Amino acid sequence: MSYREIYQASLDDPEAFWMQAAEAIDWDRKPSRALHEQGDNLYEWYADGMVNGCHNAVDRHVGNGRGDQAAIIYDSPVTGTKSSLTYRELQSHVASLAGALVAQGVSKGDRVIIYMPMVPEALEAMLACARIGAVHSVVFGGFASNELAVRIDDCAPKAIIAASCGLEPGRIVKYKPLLDSAIEQAAHKPDVCIILQREQETADLIEGRDLDWHAAQEGVTPADCVPVEGNHPAYILYTSGTTGAPKGVIRPTAGHLVALHWTMKNIYDVDPGDVFWAASDVGWVVGHSYICYGPLVHGNTTVVFEGKPVGTPDAGTFWRVISEHNVRSFFTAPTAIRAVKREDPKGLEREKYDLSCLRALYLAGERADPDTIEWAQKILDVPVYDHWWQTETGWTIAGNPAGCEAMPVKIGSPTVAMPGYDVQILDEAGHPVAAGDLGAIAVRLPLPPGTLPTLWNATDRFRKSYLTTFPGYYETGDAGMIDEDGYLYIMARTDDVINVAGHRLSTGAMEEVLAGHPDVAECAVVGVSDDLKGQAPLGLVCLTTGVNRPHEEITTECVKLVREKIGPVAAFKNALVVERLPKTRSGKILRATVVKIADNQDFKMPATIDDPAILDEIRDALRTIGYAQG
Ligand code: COA
Ligand code: AMP
């Protein structure tokens, strides 16, 4: 079938389409139907089926003759380690860790936070939870303890699985003190912490609460897979919203297994047994879907890469890994390719490796700029597919269905809507606009399987964030257009979320931190353009009357505060003291106008601006730190 036939079938008869797709996974009890309407625009998929995520990702492959195939290849230039784990070994490790969790009283429905770097044990921890029906929530290592504490309080984990440290180029990130501090700050306390001691930094264990990873597994009975309902949460993944409080996106078990399985061939064009590599981190949705579950559910070999695109040790690392491990499809963020391009513009490193195994490069996580795509096309000589999705959806909303029918690439477009996503461009009143016109990107409900049914403990927030603006639709928070050929273009966010090096961050959260500085009366954080990271946060702060300390002292403290409260991942390096913030007459801060001034772009004077003269003051101030040039 052609892409258009498949897509149309998914919209005309979603029930038949998704029941057929569901045949690809193993069920303990097949669902009686696919879609379950909960009323009031809430939907679930496969709710009355019984299934286990770990069985589908691991055990069934051992049963089907893939036991000796590599499930995980670990390649860690930061530690100088390479190893691989077969499906059979993975099954044994996971069953044993799951047994340790059971021995600690963790059972179906209990939450488990995972705070680990890019090591195979992070995947083992996720799968061990899935094995017993526990709900994992992985927290990215680049977040500070305060962010970890917020997540501990929101999902109230019974256990936390962590590593003693992570390794960033040139420094060891000691996870354990961050974890201890987070638990101290949180009102909720986990019963137990299981700690993987890494040789680069062993942590002190707290008696009565902390257990060593290996000791916790000694003498325990390996756990079997526990079937769970199709709508049982596989995991909670926190993502940034408009306010400081992160949103706990729920991933339903059956939907994500079915949808991810479908994508592996149809989008990523890999067959079981092929090596698939997503160079991301388990802390992000890409890591959940395409380092862990997707490739494993499909019987692929997944690569766990602990390193950076450059500097570990050079800009040829990606190409080495692809060549050495026979990677067929490679997925990363445009920012990573920009980093490589900046260091090795002529692609000399790439010349050192035989990349004949590679069939395509997939980019997502942020806008893929034409320069980056063209450079990658040139040096790799394979198709470069941009695709667009979100933590909320867990898989591609718009992409190139290369495995069923590769569509011509139009640079600047992530291509076309994937099955089940009825993507519409709406005007402010919620009416579809003409082809080529800009508007808010919305998806007609229901969303397909694997997408979020609601937010953890926050259905009201779910409705308010996604379902209220355009009744009957899911509001993506992105703006863009669809052209005459049905190709989608993503132009900008419609909210205060920014995208820094493919990481989704909330300017609202950073503003909350800055507002906590004793000398700051008012502030605004905006995302200005950054050649490498796409966007970079910039803070404008107004001081409390009477404060007359040197501005540089205060801005340095602001930078430190954001790093301490949110974490290094925020990459908040620039703060600027200004007299006043530009606002509308109703008091709304004109953030988009500040961005345009900083980026030296043309802008229309907002009709509702309170005092236009402030914009000149802001421009002058921005120039002092290198913005608004030209
Ligand atoms: N644990 C602790 N700290 C971390 C971390 C982790 N897992 N990941 C990043 N950090 C820290 C970094 O060390 C850095 O700290 P610094 O301010 O002390 O230098 C900070 O967070 C910002 O990190 P990063 O965004 O990685 O920037 P960078 O300048 O170190 O590297 C790139 C730039 C482009 C190489 C890097 O951003 C990159 O690899 N991006 C790809 C992003 C990606 O895969 N996104 C997933 C979506 S698909
Ligand atoms: P996250 O939830 O972290 O995956 O971030 C999702 C957001 O990143 C989207 O809503 C977009 O704003 C942005 N994004 C992701 N992929 C793309 C893409 N291919 N093109 C443009 N923006 C993207």
Q: Read off the pLDDT of residues 568-596 as tens digits, 9 standing for 90 and up.
A: 999 999 999 999 999 999 999 999 999 99
Q: How many CB atoms lie within 10 A of CB 90?
A: 25
CA of 282 to the centre of ligand 1 (A): 13
Taking the CA of 168 as reference, the closest ligand is: 1
How many residues make up the chain in this entry?
630
DSSP three-state, residue 402: helix
CA distances from 266 to 7, 299, 373, 387, 389 (A): 12, 15, 21, 13, 16
> Cα separation of 199 and 76, whole Å?
14
**Which residues are bridge partners to 536 per DSSP?**
528
Which token pair is 136?
A: 């994992």
Ligand 2 centroid, distance to 490 Cα (angstroms):
9
Which portions of the chain are predicted below pLDDT 50? none
pLDDT at 244: 78
Where helices occur in 484-549 by DSSP H, the ranges are 507-515
Ligand 1 neighbourhood includes 571 CB (under 6 angstroms): yes
Helix (H/G/I), strand (E/B), else coil: 184: helix
pLDDT value at residue 547:
96
**φ, ψ at 341 (rounded to 5°):** -60, -40
Whether the CB-CB separation of 438 and 494 falls below 8 Å is answered with: no
Q: What per-residue confidence (pLDDT) applies to 148?
A: 97
**Locate tokens 């990481």: which residue?**
503
What domains appear along the chain, each with residue ranges and CATH number? 86-226 (3.40.50.980), 500-624 (3.30.300.30)
Contact 269, 321 (CB under 8 A): no
DSSP for residue 242: S
> What's the CA-to-centroid distance between 204 and ligand 1, angstroms?
27
Q: Could you tell me the distance, in angstroms and rounded to a whole number, from the CA of residue 228 to the centre of ligand 1?
A: 36
pLDDT for res 242: 79
Whether residue 390 has its Cβ less than 6 Å from ligand 2: yes
Among candidate residues 44, 18, 20, 47, the one with its CA nearest the CA of residue 445: 44
CA distance 259 to 395: 8
Pocket test for ligand 2, best of 361, 478, 505, 507 (most atoms within 8 A of CB): 478
Q: Which ligand is nearest to the CA of 366?
A: 2
Q: Of the ligands numbered here, which is closest to the C-alpha atom of 488?
A: 2
Q: Is 334 in the pocket of ligand 2 (CB under 6 A)?
A: no
Q: Is the separation of the CB atoms in 114 and 124 below 8 Å? A: no
How far lies 240's CA from each of 249, 443, 458, 570, 585, in Å? 10, 20, 14, 11, 28
The pairing of strands 488-493 and 473-482 is antiparallel
Q: How far, in Å, CA of 436 to CA of 414, rounded? A: 15
Q: Does 534 contact ligand 1 (Cβ within 6 A)?
A: no
Tokens representing residue 607 in the block = 């009709």
Nearest residue (CA) to ligand 2, atom 3: 504
Distance 346 CA to ligand 1 centre (A): 24
Separation CA 454–CA 438 (nearest Å):
28
- How far, in Å, from the CA of 337 to the mean position of ligand 2? 16
> Is the Cβ–Cβ distance between 329 and 300 less than 8 Å?
no
Mutation choice for ligand 1 from 116, 165, 292, 308, CB with most ligand atoms inside 8 A = 308
The tokens for 535 are 């966007």
H/E segment holding residue 470: none
d(C-alpha 184, C-alpha 206), whole Å? 13
CA dihedral sign of residues 431, 432, 438, 439: positive
Atom of ligand 1 nearest to the CA of 563: 17
- The span from the CA of 35 to the CA of 62, in Å, is 31
User: At how many degrees (to 10) do helices 334-343 and 370-380 cross?
Assistant: 70
Report H helices in 79-143. 87-103, 120-132
Helix (H) or strand (E) segment spanning residue 37: strand 35-39
Residue nearest to ligand 2 atom 6, measured at CA: 390
Closest of 390, 538, 590, 399 to residue 477, by C-alpha: 390
Ligand 1 pocket check: which of 139, 335, 362 to mutate, most ligand atoms within 8 Å of Cβ? Answer: 335
Mutation to probe ligand 2, out of 504, 507, 533, 569 (largest number of atoms < 8 A from CB) = 504
CA 474 to chain centroid, in Å, comes to 19
Hey, which residues does 386 pair with through a beta bridge? 363
Q: Which amino acid is residue 564, in one-letter code? A: E
CB within 8 Å of 374: residues ≥ 6 apart: 411
Greatest C-alpha distance within the chain: 74
The verdict on the CB of residue 414 being under 6 Å from ligand 2 is: yes
Between the alpha carbon of residue 525 and those of residues 123, 358, 509, 603, the distances in Å are 35, 41, 9, 19
Which residues, in sequence order, are bridge partners of residue 505? 498
61, 87 contact by CB (below 8 A): yes
CA-CA distance, 444 to 471, in Å (whole number)?
9
- Judge whether 350 and 379 are in contact, CB under 8 Å: yes
Task: Give burial (CB, 10 Å; 0-12/13-18/19+) of 304.
Answer: buried
